[in-house]
Amino acid sequence: MAALSTIAQPKLSIRSRAPSWRGAWWVLFWIAVFGLLVLPIFLFLLVAFSPALFDQGTAWFSLDAFKQVMTPTFLPAVVHSLLVGIGAAIGATVLGGAIAWAVQRTNVPLRGLWGGSMFALLLAPSYLIALGWERLLEPNGVMDVLGVPDAGLRGLIYGPVGVTMVLAVKGLPFAYLAISGALGGLGDEFAAAVRVHGGGRWDAGRITVALLAPAIWSSFAIVFAESISDFGVAATLANDASFPIATYTLYNAVQAFPVDFPVAAAVGWVLLAMAGIAIFAQHRALRGRTYRVLSGRSRNPRRHSMPGRTRAGVGVALGVMVLTTLGVPVFGALSASVINGLGSITGSHAFTFDNYTRVINSPELHEPLLFSVLMGAATATASVTLGLVAARLLTGTGGKISRRMLDLLLLTAVALPGIVFAAGYIFTYNLPLTNALGIHLYGTPALLLLGYIATALPSTTRLLVGTVGQVQQSLPHAARVHGAGPITAWTGTALPLLARPLISAWLLTFGGTLLELPVSELLYPPGQPPVAVGITKALANYDFGGGTAMEVLAILVALTVMGLTWGLWALFAPAGWRRLGAAA
């Protein structure tokens, strides 16, 4: 009994001390979440209904902003967003499902390559994919320089077909991941049962597709929401093709003089409503049905062995897919970066590396890249720190109400377009009340950093939730019982398990922030453009060679940082950390 009391006593003291420091940390965390995610978006969306509340009009309650959205100035852009969103969602879901089936269920060659290409697409910003196609097909572009006729393809890409295609390519990884995950848990027993009862291959395939309905609808909803909220394609290919998209009209409303915040907020409401319709349609289609296919009798699915010619044909089709989705934009960017005077009729169009020399030597071209590297590192560090705290709260056992609130808030933030976040920050931190409170963030790097963190935090938290939920809280508690402090207990027990996922989340956030466009475009401080803004400015000034050279160098920097980070991890991380991190 004496021994038990000796062990129990430190536990009591730990619990008695916990509220004094944990409570303060949780208060600071909720203040940060409120300032990052709640206040800017709430105030921005509220101005659509009450312009007078924020000195943006005379009406205390009005629907005039929504009426303006329905006028010929804005309505075509909304309709275009809806149509290309549906087209991209259907295209990505069909193609992603076909790729997932080939990789998961057949003996197609080079399965790892096809799956890896999906992750490469996941990391590529949509505007870089669009710019790759533009550099190839624009007048006096790469195809014209090489003497390849491209007028027909140019007319197809510079329009709704091209916009839909690029958005479908960008949504392809989401569709692939959603459907391949469901395929991995779906055995062959259901299709076999259909065949036993006299059904043919068509009937068996129809049953399989029906059982995959949750994944298919999830793919459609995700790609649709991503497509209608995309700003990169809207600001590049769609704008150059004179094909207005809703996100770009929101951007124009914020950039107009005078600024029309009520209309911009109304467009934001429309985008949220369209995303909500997709989610509602998913819920409606699956309501009242069950898709529980995993049980103790489930068997791992077997791979179908295709005949030689069929196997080769599928492999060639997947190769064409990779070349079209990744190869063409990469070739467009690389080739454009080494052509002198691309896009003009006065340049020599000779192959040269002068564009890279100009980027390295010109402050106007390389300083945006250095600025984005610093902002990306700061954003990744802050997002991973806050995301770890949020993941701990979401997977904890206490605070049921706070967990639900945070979960709902993060889910809502994931559905919000980045352009809405940026507009909300411009509006909120430029209010007279905000300045009167001594908060002078508008036009500063600090506001840009906050915008980056706000857009990165929801996805970073989702990346960490699964791993953090696997770590038993008894580990740091046991260390506390044996006399370790709170920080030492966590770093000695939980950190070795979480180190690799934390590094992965940091690198993904860094890479995403480095080339982020919508928040960068609206919030960058005067005289300090991030690299995405530097690229678009160079292209707007018809410096296609310099702009594409900046693209290539930015991607090389991101890949170098990732390679160095994992190299240092392999060299200097303790062997136990590497083993435990890989298991986690």
Beta strands in 391-440 (DSSP E): none
d(CA 340, CA 343) in angstroms, rounded, equals 9
As a CATH number, domain 353-584 is: 1.10.3720.10
Q: What is the 3-state secondary structure (H, E, C) of 61-74?
A: CCCHHHHHHCCCCC
In the prediction, which pLDDT does 484 show? Answer: 60
Is there a contact between 231 and 455 (Cβ–Cβ < 8 Å)? no
Under DSSP, the state recorded for 52 is: G
% pLDDT > 90, the chain: 9
d(CA 273, CA 415) in angstroms, rounded, equals 10
383 has pLDDT over 80 = yes
Question: Across the chain, what does the average pLDDT equal?
Answer: 78
> Cα dist. 2→8, 25, 134, 478 in Å?
10, 35, 78, 19
pLDDT-derived band at 296 (thresholds 50, 70, 90) equals very low
* Segments making up each domain of the chain, as ranges: 71-343, 353-584
**pLDDT, tens digit, for every residue of 239-291?**
888 899 988 888 888 887 777 888 888 888 888 888 777 777 766 665 555 44
In the prediction, which pLDDT does 18 show? Answer: 47
In the prediction, which pLDDT does 283 show? Answer: 66
Under DSSP, the state recorded for 577 is: H
Q: What are phi and psi of 304, to 5 degrees?
A: -80, 130
Is there a contact between 92 and 172 (Cβ–Cβ < 8 Å)? yes
**pLDDT, tens digit, for every residue of 305-359?**
777 788 888 888 888 888 888 888 888 888 888 877 666 655 556 777 888 888 8
Mean pLDDT in residue range 61-82:
88
d(CA 20, CA 23) in angstroms, rounded, equals 6
407 has pLDDT over 90 = no
Q: Is 261 exposed, middle or buried (0-12, 13-18, 19+ CB in 10 A)?
A: buried
CB neighbourhood size of 98 (10 A):
17
In the prediction, which pLDDT does 510 show? Answer: 92
In the prediction, which pLDDT does 540 show? Answer: 80
Mean pLDDT in residue range 469-495:
64
CA atoms within 13 A on the CB side of 92: 37
46 has pLDDT over 70 = yes
Is there a contact between 326 and 120 (Cβ–Cβ < 8 Å)? yes
Q: What are phi and psi of 351, to 5 degrees?
A: -80, 125
CA atoms within 13 A on the CB side of 85: 25
Mean pLDDT in residue range 384-410:
78
295 has pLDDT over 60 = no
- Whether the domain at 71-343 and the domain at 353-584 fall into the same CATH topology: yes
Mean pLDDT in residue range 42-68:
85
Interaxial angle between packed helices 75-105 and 111-123, expressed in degrees from 0 to 180 and rounded to the nearest 10: 150
Whether CATH 1.10.3720.10 fits 71-343: yes
Query: Quick one: which H or E segment has residue 212?
Result: none
Is there a contact between 464 and 494 (Cβ–Cβ < 8 Å)? no
Query: Quick one: which H or E segment has residue 47?
Result: none
Q: What is the 3-state secondary structure (H, E, C) of 432-476?
A: HHHHHCCCCCCCCHHHHHHHHHHHHHHHHHHHHHHHHHHCCCHHH
Q: Which among 141, 226, 185 is positioned nearest to 542, based on CA atoms?
A: 141
Among 72-81, 343-352, 390-399, 460-469, the range with the most confident prediction by mean pLDDT is 72-81
In the prediction, which pLDDT does 19 show? Answer: 47
Which one-letter amino acid corresponds to residue 444?
T
